[in-house]
């Protein structure tokens, strides 16, 4: 078993899944409010944890289906226990090996893409899973510009790919995306980096050819 999967299996059992929801929830919800969900859509959350984002999105009136995937089997077990809508589905898989025939309008990833064995392969797969004109929203607090979080990988002792904002943009562009970036800050937070740097969100749009 790889260390990332083992770590998140442990987190699923010791309450860290709920802690992640509390830690990231405010900035994620701020960001989601900037997205227009005014047409019928399908949604995929990559690295869904206990499924809190999927449950939030499934409540949108225009949501047809909201799917969550995670490489931690125990996180998926937790997510399935909390299902409260027929629109929700959860699968035990990672983005590199997912087998899914339908394409999505929106794909989301919060604090998970940098755990992939290869970010390049993960982005390539996400690009293929999007409909033309579809959008991929990637949120991360772990980037070199944000020096307070750059030490996370040493603390956690697991594989985490650390990139600068500029490098993230290049990775998205190389995968074919048209990109925009946004910093969502929590100005009332006690943590200085949350006030000054905040969460970096990269939006990649798959061009309509």
What whole-number distance in Å separates Cα of residue 138 and Cα of residue 116? 13
Q: If 0-12 CB within 10 Å is exposed, 13-18 middle and 19+ buried, where does residue 22 land?
A: exposed
Where are the chain's structural domains? 3-14+40-205
What whole-number distance in Å separates Cα of residue 141 and Cα of residue 150? 9
**CATH topology (fold) of 3-14+40-205:** Rossmann fold (3.40.50)
What whole-number distance in Å separates Cα of residue 167 and Cα of residue 209? 26
pLDDT tens track, the chain, 209 positions: 488 888 887 877 877 667 677 677 788 889 999 999 999 999 999 999 999 999 999 999 999 999 999 999 999 999 999 999 999 999 999 999 898 888 999 999 999 999 999 999 999 999 999 999 999 999 999 999 888 887 777 777 888 899 999 999 999 999 999 999 999 988 888 888 888 888 999 999 999 98
């Amino acid at each position: 078993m790889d260390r990332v999967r083992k770590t998140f299996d442990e987190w699923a059992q010791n309450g860290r899944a709920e802690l992640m929801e509390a830690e990231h929830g405010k900035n994620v919800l701020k960001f989601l409010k900037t997205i227009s969900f005014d047409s019928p859509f399908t949604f995929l959350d990559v690295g869904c944890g206990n499924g809190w984002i999927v449950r939030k999105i499934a409540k949108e009136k225009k949501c047809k289906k909201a799917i969550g995937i995670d490489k931690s089997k125990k996180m998926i077990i937790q997510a399935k226990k909390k299902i409260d809508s027929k629109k929700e589905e959860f699968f035990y898989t990672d983005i590199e090996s997912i087998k899914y025939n339908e394409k999505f309008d929106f794909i989301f990833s919060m604090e998970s893409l940098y755990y992939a064995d290869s970010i390049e392969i993960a982005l390539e797969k996400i690009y293929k899973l999007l409909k033309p004109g579809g959008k991929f929203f990637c949120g991360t607090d772990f980037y070199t510009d944000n020096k307070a979080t750059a030490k996370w990988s040493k603390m956690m002792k697991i594989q985490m790919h650390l990139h600068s904002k500029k490098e993230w943009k290049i990775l998205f562009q190389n995968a074919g995306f048209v990109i925009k970036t946004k910093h969502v800050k929590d100005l009332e937070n006690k943590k200085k980096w949350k006030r000054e740097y905040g969460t970096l969100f990269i939006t990649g749009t798959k061009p309509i050819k």
